[in-house]
Amino acid sequence: MRGVTMDRRTGITLAAAVLCAFAAPAQSAETAHVYGRVEYAQVTGSASLQIESQLEGGGDTTVLYVSDIKYASGEGGMFVHFTIDNGEVLPGRTISVALPVLKDQLVHDRDGGTDHQPTVAMNFCIGNVAFSSNVILELRTTFTPQLLLGKTEAAQFAPIDPQKKNTGAPNCQAPAAAAPGSPH
pLDDT value of residue 47 = 65
Bridge-partner residues for 124, per DSSP? 43, 131
Q: Verify cis geometry, omega within 30 degrees of 0, for the bond prior to 25.
A: no
Return the number of other C-beta atoms located less than 10 Å from residue 182's C-beta: 6
Predicted pLDDT at 77: 87
Q: Phi/psi zone of residue 78: left (φ > 0), alpha (ψ -120 to 50 degrees), beta?
A: beta
CB 101 within 8 A of CB 120: yes
pLDDT at 31: 62
CB 27 within 8 A of CB 120: no
Q: What is the pLDDT of residue 183?
A: 43
Domain boundaries, the chain: 35-165
What pLDDT is attached to residue 122? 93
- Whether the pTM exceeds 0.85: the reply is no
Whole-number pLDDT of residue 35: 84
> Would you write out the chain's pLDDT as a tens digit for each of its 184 residues?
454 444 555 444 444 444 444 444 444 435 677 888 899 998 887 567 888 898 876 788 999 999 889 999 888 789 999 988 876 655 557 888 889 999 988 888 888 888 888 999 999 998 888 889 999 999 887 767 889 999 888 888 878 888 888 888 888 865 444 444 434 3
> Are the beta carbons of 84 and 64 closer than 8 angstroms?
yes
Report, at the CATH architecture level, how domain 35-165 is classified: Beta Barrel (2.40)
